[in-house]
A and B are shown apart, each in its own frame.
Chain A
């Protein structure tokens, strides 16, 4: 669906996107995660044929960026970083203009459908300038969907919204999933990427890593199990240390933290051994690293 190969953008001497290679499948919700200035917007602009890559290739559907730009524009929807609505025009007019520019077959019906879907129907005659930030964002999302694009790019869909509006927008994006539409979401919000996306790319000028949210956690830290004991844990380190499956073991007060690949399979055995060694186990749990830890580590610049 979306394929890039060494996609690069330089602004004069400033390297904004460096040899980005991605392969995103049909129907995938793909998170493009990176801090401000990482080059996310620049990437979206290249993929939507708004700016030309300095080097490298990109393909959307079967179309080549730089060669089939017009076809790409027809098949792609984009929510730009700022909604960019015509504030003096009504919500209805704003959408109708775009429905026409996208050559939608029955523009009025499409506009009505999306105004209803996003709960803006009642306010359709109000100038867009009178809308709240959240409503503007929803209107801009509707605008990106009018022509039922197969690929949708969302540039920071919830940034600058209050938590309630952000949730509404997120819920709507969640609804868009699983309808065969490929969605590319730029965000600097980890939680959002974690909740919405099938896969996440961590990106800062260069691609740092691509994986599923769970895979990211595992890839970086492995999985860890915590045994809460009734007594101090130090003395039980030796009980488990020699087991080959245990990759790492650590005692903190009365907690024993064990790193292993498949806790589902090996926990029962570990528990048995600990009990035999005289440990009183109170709780067993998985230690989940927040995606935040992982992210911060990834985008740290290896100077």
Chain B
């Protein structure tokens, strides 16, 4: 435990001196929280206009049962943006995790590190937590801000929809699972490549599925409801198990130390 903490603190000391990391951990969540709030404010203002548009209820399906058209639009907007809180947990840790191992390789610091009595598990857990903890915290804090802002802008009925169990599950359970997916994928890449930039670019690919989901939703192809969230959660959990296994397997001490120049 002590060693995991040592690695964790060391990673943070190093990584938070990097501007890109500060950006992804601090500013990205702020921006992604500001966008839905601004949009929400907009739908509030232009609610009249929107309510004149062709029968929204049909398009929204059972999303709007028991709601007026403007409320319905707001609920739709909210659900559209709640997916943001699934992009954040994937995007935030990528930079930190992608750098975690290849960074040590390029600094040649991996050899003295592996010469200490640290176990591979301690090392990997320490490094993974260094990426996971800020990602989850930043996601939850942003979600908190989002809820607070939404509360000020929508009525009780609409806000109640926002607090639906599947959305809470999405943020509280699926988001951490997504973070783990992102981190284990990025660390696996980080073990294999020899250039931090390449690590970052390859690792960033992990965001794509979520982006597709978001696009699918915004063009009306998929409606993210309870079922989709549970499916997503289950799928990601399975993926996590596989990726964590692979990330540990790929970290073969001797190979990582010698076969990268």
Contacts and interface: CB of A to CB of B under 8 A. Distances in A.
A108 to B, nearest CB: 13
A contact residues, range: 20 to 34
Interface stretch (A82-90, A237-245, A246-254, A267-275): A82-90
A89 B108 contact: no
Interface in A56-94: 70, 73-74, 76, 78, 80-89, 93
Interface in A123-160: 140, 143-144
Interface string B147-187: 00000000000000000000000000000000000000000
Contacts of B110: 84
Interface in B1-57: 2-3, 6, 10, 13-14, 17
Nearest to A90: B13
Interface of B: 2-3, 6, 10, 13-14, 17, 107-119, 253-254, 257-258
Given A84-B111, A87-B107, 13 more contacts: A51-B254, A51-B258, A81-B111, A82-B108, A83-B108, A84-B112, A86-B14, A93-B10, A100-B2, A101-B3, A101-B118, A103-B117, A144-B112
A88 B14 contact: yes
B121 to A, nearest CB: 13
B108 A84 contact: yes
B10 A143 contact: no
B257 A50 contact: yes
B13 A143 contact: no
Contacts of B107: 84-87
A236 interface: no
Contacts of B17: 88
Nearest to B111: A80
Contacts of A84: 107-113
B112 A73 contact: no
A102 interface: yes
Contacts, number: 75
Contact of B116 (A52, A73, A85, A89): A73
Contacts of A51: 254, 257-258
A121 interface: no
A70 B112 contact: no
A94 to B, nearest CB: 9
5 contacts: A84-B110, A86-B109, A89-B10, A98-B116, A100-B3
A8 interface: no
Contacts of B253: 50
A78 B110 CA distance: 13
Residue from B2, B115, B117 with most neighbouring chain A CB atoms (10 Å): B115
A230 interface: no
A97 B6 CA distance: 6
A110 interface: no
Secondary structure of the B side of the interface?
helix
A143 B112 contact: yes
Contacts of B257: 45, 50-51
Contacts of B114: 50
Residue from A50, A51, A83, A140 with most neighbouring chain B CB atoms (10 Å): A50
Contacts of A85: 107, 109
Contacts of A76: 115
A4 interface: no
B19 to A, nearest CB: 12
Nearest to B2: A100
A13 to B, nearest CB: 15
B14 to A, nearest CB: 5
Contacts of B10: 86, 89, 93, 97
B149 to A, nearest CB: 36
A80 B112 CA distance: 7
A234 to B, nearest CB: 59
A205 interface: no
Nearest to B14: A88
Contact of B115 (A11, A52, A78, A83): A78
Residue from A83, A89, A97, A140 with most neighbouring chain B CB atoms (10 Å): A97
A103 B14 CA distance: 22
B171 to A, nearest CB: 33
A48 interface: yes
B27 to A, nearest CB: 21
Nearest to A127: B17
Contact of A70 (B14, B113, B117): B117
Residue from A52, A80, A93, A102 with most neighbouring chain B CB atoms (10 Å): A80
Contacts of A103: 2, 117
B116 A101 contact: yes
Contacts of B119: 70
Nearest to B116: A101
